[in-house]
Structure 1
Amino acid sequence: MFAMLEENLIKIYERSFRENREMSALTDYFKGETFSYYEMAKEIAKLHLLYKKAGIRQGDKIALIGRNNPRWCITYIGTVTYGAVIVPILQDFTPADIIHIINHSESRLLFLGDNFWDVIEEDQIKQIEAVFSLTDFHVIYERDGKALTKFQRDIVKNYRSKYPRGFSVGDIKYPDIPNDRVVLLNYTSGTTGYSKGVMLTVNNLTGNVTFAMSALNTQTGTYYFQKGGRTLSFLPLAHAYGCAFDFLAPLAVGGHITLLGRIPSPKILVEAMAVVRPTIICCVPMILEKVYRKQVLPLLEKGPMSIAVKIPLLNAAIYSVIRKKLMDAFGGNVSIFIVGGAPMNQETEAFLMKIRFPITIGYGMTECAPLISFTPDNEFKAGSCGRYLKNLLEVRIDSPDPEHEAGEIVVRGENVMAGYYKNEKDTQKVLDADGWLHTGDMGTMDPDGTLYIRGRSKTMILSGNGQNIYPEEIEDKLNNMYMVLESLVLDAGNGRLRALVVPDYEQADAEGVDKSELPQIMQNNLQELNAQLAAYERVSDITIYPTEFEKTPKRSIKRFLYSASLLDS
């Protein structure tokens, strides 16, 4: 078992904000507004005065929803450095979910993007005492009296009376918040249909951030996160993955974060990459898969390159041309692409590794804030999701032969949550008496601790002859086939597997393929797919589904919405 960590995130920030005070910390890409570390620390100091005025105590909850912008980040850091609990809410949640989370978390204050106030009625959130705008922190609504409205209107005067000689480096000083204190309530998007509030401690966040600070390419000896490094943040910061590595880690080392608000269109993303020239990119697989399918595959399938790639001496030269093209598309300065949040398509991954693209795939879950495994890109093994973090966690596979036979991945250690808020029943389901977190993911593990995910235990299908079938592995193959945008493999009973497929209508239009031809194309895909599968995994038929599947904010399909009954409707 591990003891608490010696480092403490709040003290790491105190040190970083002082040492990096002249450096740029946060930039709003569209507004062009930038806060240096010193300016950010001043805004945090003003928030602390506001919290004191509002009677906020350590442990009180403060809810936060809006697009990623500097004041979103300042609210988050201002809350945890005060010792209160931040409750970041994903902006993709429905109004009903947002209201449920604000109430379930017992938040006292609410910070939001102005557009979110349009979908919330004040009598639906009765314990919220005041609502603040993420545009400039003015009070949008106050339940009783006008004390906070007046305080915020006079914030500059109030701040000057607190710091009559001006705000100095020595004033960047935060209270001692012990490592076992809960400072974050993260409500999971979850693909199970309802959300749970994950209680994360200072220790959980410190484990993730200190690991990121020490992560380096062991070949070149360079750290991925470093002072002056540039991050282009487009993943939702209310989600544990984007939060830890696009936001919390860069601020610990003096990095500069440019905030794009939310996952943008490919065109805006490419423009922003050229402007920011990020040194590190965290993304979900979908982004790299789209680039591979839309930009790389056409080069390899048509024209002179498709011939040259087949000539052994030429293909290395072609690969370096493609690698440079891809690197330039992402600003030309990236030292590593960290991919997480969902499984990566195997064909895309294999190609990127072949051209020595600096990619690594990590694995985690909100309940671990989020990291469980990660490997530097120069040591990454194909098909894996890195080695588990041995100085922070213990990991075991519940299987008689963990190397060859998949079992549930269970985890214990520094990154593991304190439990689900006000939900003892669900806490006991995943956290056993010895502190092991049952992830619900099935995997195998090499002797060196490298993990391979096979699928979710919930989605695993038991075949008629007792074989375990992981639908995700079949979908991965099917998604690589002609005109397939995405797919779901479902258990149709009586030992039959059937597939729902969303065709790539964009590709069909571009190639002049009539919709009436799609059923035959899918029939051809079915034959090709079954030729690659074991007899017990074969799919009996493919049904075309007309629209993209509904996704969670981290872009995984909400599988619980789709059942085999859809195949006959």
Structure 2
Amino acid sequence: MEFTQAPAVMIADHAQLTDPVWDNADKHPNVVQFVTPARNISCAEFREEVASVASGLREAGVKPGDRVALMSKTRYEWTLIDYAIWAAGAITVPVYETSSAEQVQWILSDSGAVACFTETAAHSALVREFVNTVWQIPDLPRGTADFERHRGQADDPATIVYTSGTTGRPKGCVLTHRNMLSDIGNAIPVLPRLFHQGSSTVLFLPLAHAFARLLQIGVVQGRVTTLHTADVKDLVSDLGAFKPSFILSVPRVFEKVYNGAKQRAHADGKGAIFDRAERVAIAYSESLDSGGPGFALKMQHKLFDKLVYGKLRAALGGRCHSAISGGAPLGARLGHFFRGIGLLVLEGYGLTETSPAITFNREDAQRIGSVGQPLPGVSVRIADDGEILAKGEVVFSGYWNNVEATKEVLDDEGWFHTGDLGALDSDGFLTITGRKKEIIVTAGGKNVAPAVLEDRVRAHPLVSQCMVIGDRKPFIAALVTIDAEALPDTPLTDSDLRARVQEAIDEANKAVSKAEAIKVFRILPRDFTEATGELTPSLKVKRAVVMKEYSDEIDAIYGS
């Protein structure tokens, strides 16, 4: 199967990511582009600040084509520095602020970075071992007012994003101005409710990740008023105060919103009401795809909108009508639940190598449970072995200094091999079915895609992570971690906890055959975290790390 969408826009050969900054300042100088705790920043002021820092970079000796690293949490200065690097003609190299010394050394040395921006004194001390020029936020280089931004080619590299990867050393994905402009330029026309002047959002995901970076480019191009926040602990209060019209998030945040609301309802003795409201929300959403709700369902939905749904929307600020979800599977259940309460969650799919979005759902073309249709200008093909292939201007030009790795994923016809498995329906909606390299083959020869089971187990309020195992083993098993925040005030006994997790296992097993079902599970003593090495910065499970860390538990499961 193959499906292609005609491009909505074409990128000119001299187009640059800084073009919207200069255009907005000329045509809409007084529109508020960014909101910070100290002040509002207009389009004109943003251009002035970008030009000032870019001029400072140039005076410091940074030349077009030089790589400049940026190691910081999400904040306004991250966006300012990113655009200033581009205005100077240089290439941004994002570094997660949680990166280890070894990872930082590799990224800075492999990219050949000539300078680095940091956020903390600890970051500065770390990177000074590898680069000579370091600027610590908020002390940024400032140059003369007389500045002419660099005007390069659309195919010039704009950024090198090192994929965190679930195994091995990070590889540097080279994304050009054309790659990123094509991605957002073709997304904005089919997301009219989101990216426009008067719209607003809170940007809280790490900007070192390509997913959040795409939103950053979108809010500038669409003049969306944006608040940056790095601390997820402040997110609820920031949402309540700022009242965004849409947000970008990952499924784990949506799961926590849902699980937290359900937990509070049950703790307050209103569990039965919430559970009924949940069923009505899902049924209401499902009915929208099959002729619409009947009278009785409409009345129930209206009642629960007053009792439950309105309060959930209020937690997001009360004005939030849409959300974009990516980075991991959301699942049909959560998608229907949130649409049923009045929040349209538009799930998409892509990889760092594809700038990153290649498919997404949109308001007028949505199929919950899928990751949507190809972006305008993108072709998606399903190979004979089920692998998802992508082609278009959004596909990267290759890995930095790594020709062999590039050849492994880019074929002679320009198709990018994602490593993911999926299926296309007749309307071009893509469904992800698993990861090619993560397919489990049991001792009996049964092929099992872990994602189907893992997503369903994680849907349980008490479960944080689930990793399905069983490669070359006689049966399928699972390692499960518990979400400590979801535990009830009254401690559960071990048997009670196992019984609750068994409920999640039983529900997941309904989606597969008996040969694919989870037969045994182990509850691990702690959750997976990035700090302890089991999760990537984008919260993907490092399967090899978990397998090694918990080899004793795995051996016990299989009697090794």
**TM exceeds 0.5?**
yes
Please give the alpha-carbon distance, in whole angstroms, between the structure 2 residues aligned to 1:379 and 1:407.
24
Q: Which residue of 2 aligns with 1:159?
A: 144
User: Is 1:396 aligned to 2:381, yes or no?
Assistant: yes
Deviation at 1:459, TM superposition (A): 0.9
> Which residue of 15, 21, 24 corresponds with 2:23?
15
Deviation at 1:338, TM superposition (A): 0.5
Please give the alpha-carbon distance, in whole angstroms, between the structure 1 residues aligned to 2:461 and 2:212.
32
Please give the alpha-carbon distance, in whole angstroms, between the structure 2 residues aligned to 1:490 and 1:521.
20
Please give the alpha-carbon distance, in whole angstroms, between the structure 1 residues aligned to 2:312 and 2:84.
38
Q: What do residues 116-140 of structure 1 show as CA deviations (whole Å, max 9, x unaligned)?
A: 4354163x31xx3411121121xxx
Secondary structure in structure 2 of the residue aligned to 1:238? coil
Contact 1:363 1:371 in 2 (8 A): yes
Secondary structure in structure 2 of the residue aligned to 1:536? helix
> Which residue of 289, 304, 311 corresponds with 1:325?
311
User: Is 1:228 aligned to 2:212, yes or no?
Assistant: no
> Which residue of 87, 104, 111 corresponds with 1:105?
111
Secondary structure in structure 2 of the residue aligned to 1:223? coil
Secondary structure in structure 1 of the residue aligned to 2:469? strand
Deviation at 1:434, TM superposition (A): 1.3
Q: Counterpart of 1:290 in structure 2: which amino acid?
A: K
Contact 1:114 1:135 in 2 (8 A): no
Deviation at 1:211, TM superposition (A): 2.1
> Which residue of 254, 260, 269 corresponds with 2:223?
254
Please give the alpha-carbon distance, in whole angstroms, between the structure 2 residues aligned to 1:43 and 1:449.
43
- TM alignment of 1:305-344, pairs within 5 A: 306=275, 312=297, 314-321=299-306, 322-344=308-330
User: Is 1:370 aligned to 2:325, yes or no?
Assistant: no
Q: Which residue of 2 aligns with 1:558?
A: 542
Please give the alpha-carbon distance, in whole angstroms, between the structure 1 residues aligned to 2:436 and 2:467.
16
Q: Which residue of 2 aligns with 1:135?
A: 138
- TM alignment of 1:42-57, pairs within 5 A: 42-57=48-63
Please give the alpha-carbon distance, in whole angstroms, between the structure 2 residues aligned to 1:313 and 1:233.
34
- TM alignment of 1:259-278, pairs within 5 A: 259-262=228-231, 264-265=232-233, 268-278=234-244
- TM alignment of 1:126-525, pairs within 5 A: 128-137=131-140, 155=142, 159=144, 162=146, 174-216=149-191, 222-245=192-215, 247-262=216-231, 264-265=232-233, 268-296=234-262, 299=265, 302-304=271-273, 306=275, 312=297, 314-321=299-306, 322-389=308-375, 391-399=376-384, 407-464=386-443, 466-481=445-460, 483-515=462-494, 517-523=496-502
Secondary structure in structure 1 of the residue aligned to 2:374? coil
Deviation at 1:352, TM superposition (A): 2.1
Q: Which residue of 1 aligns with 2:283?
A: none
Q: What do residues 319-338 of structure 1 show as CA deviations (whole Å, max 9, x unaligned)?
A: 43333222221111123110
Contact 1:368 1:415 in 2 (8 A): yes
Contact 1:386 1:450 in 2 (8 A): yes
Please give the alpha-carbon distance, in whole angstroms, between the structure 2 residues aligned to 1:25 and 1:387.
30
> Which residue of 86, 93, 110 corresponds with 1:87?
93
Q: What do residues 231-282 of structure 1 show as CA deviations (whole Å, max 9, x unaligned)?
A: 211001111000111x1111112222211024x12xx212101111111200
Contact 2:262 2:271 in 1 (8 A): no
Distance 1:543-1:333 versus aligned 2 partners, 3 A rule: same
Q: Counterpart of 1:363 in structure 2: which amino acid?
A: Y
Q: What do residues 289-331 of structure 1 show as CA deviations (whole Å, max 9, x unaligned)?
A: 1111120476487244556768856532244333322222111
Please give the alpha-carbon distance, in whole angstroms, between the structure 1 residues aligned to 2:86 and 2:371.
30
- TM-score if structure 2 supplies the norm length? 0.86
Please give the alpha-carbon distance, in whole angstroms, between the structure 2 residues aligned to 1:347 and 1:190.
28
Please give the alpha-carbon distance, in whole angstroms, between the structure 1 residues aligned to 2:420 and 2:69.
30
> Which residue of 533, 537, 549 corresponds with 2:516?
537
Secondary structure in structure 2 of the residue aligned to 1:35? strand
Contact 1:234 1:260 in 2 (8 A): yes
Contact 1:214 1:223 in 2 (8 A): no
Please give the alpha-carbon distance, in whole angstroms, between the structure 1 residues aligned to 2:261 and 2:324.
20
Mean Cα displacement is larger for which, 439-448 or 93-102? 93-102
Q: Counterpart of 1:260 in structure 2: which amino acid?
A: T
Deviation at 1:193, TM superposition (A): 3.5
Contact 1:420 1:426 in 2 (8 A): yes
Please give the alpha-carbon distance, in whole angstroms, between the structure 2 residues aligned to 1:51 and 1:508.
50
* Aligned length in residues: 520
Contact 2:260 2:486 in 1 (8 A): no
Please give the alpha-carbon distance, in whole angstroms, between the structure 2 residues aligned to 1:468 and 1:17.
56
Distance 1:452-1:159 versus aligned 2 partners, 3 A rule: same
Distance 1:392-1:527 versus aligned 2 partners, 3 A rule: closer
Distance 1:296-1:319 versus aligned 2 partners, 3 A rule: farther
Contact 1:188 1:366 in 2 (8 A): yes
Please give the alpha-carbon distance, in whole angstroms, between the structure 2 residues aligned to 1:260 and 1:304.
34
Deviation at 1:481, TM superposition (A): 4.0
Secondary structure in structure 2 of the residue aligned to 1:271? helix
Contact 1:489 1:498 in 2 (8 A): yes
Deviation at 1:103, TM superposition (A): 1.3
Q: Which residue of 1 aligns with 2:290?
A: none
Deviation at 1:230, TM superposition (A): 1.4
RMSD after superposition: 2.6
Distance 1:209-1:504 versus aligned 2 partners, 3 A rule: closer
Please give the alpha-carbon distance, in whole angstroms, between the structure 2 residues aligned to 1:561 and 1:212.
36
Q: Counterpart of 2:378 in structure 1: which amino acid?
A: L
Q: Which residue of 2 aligns with 1:74?
A: 80
Deviation at 1:192, TM superposition (A): 2.1
Deviation at 1:83, TM superposition (A): 1.6
- The runs of 5 or more residues in structure 2 that have no matched partner are 281-295, 529-533
Q: Counterpart of 2:516 in structure 1: which amino acid?
A: E
> Which residue of 551, 555, 559 corresponds with 1:568?
555
Mean Cα displacement is larger for which, 104-113 or 325-334? 325-334
Please give the alpha-carbon distance, in whole angstroms, between the structure 1 residues aligned to 2:73 and 2:486.
31
Q: Counterpart of 2:448 in structure 1: which amino acid?
A: I
Distance 1:504-1:71 versus aligned 2 partners, 3 A rule: closer
Q: What do residues 158-214 of structure 1 show as CA deviations (whole Å, max 9, x unaligned)?
A: 625x4xxxxxxxx7x633221111111111112224211000001011112212331
Contact 1:526 1:541 in 2 (8 A): no
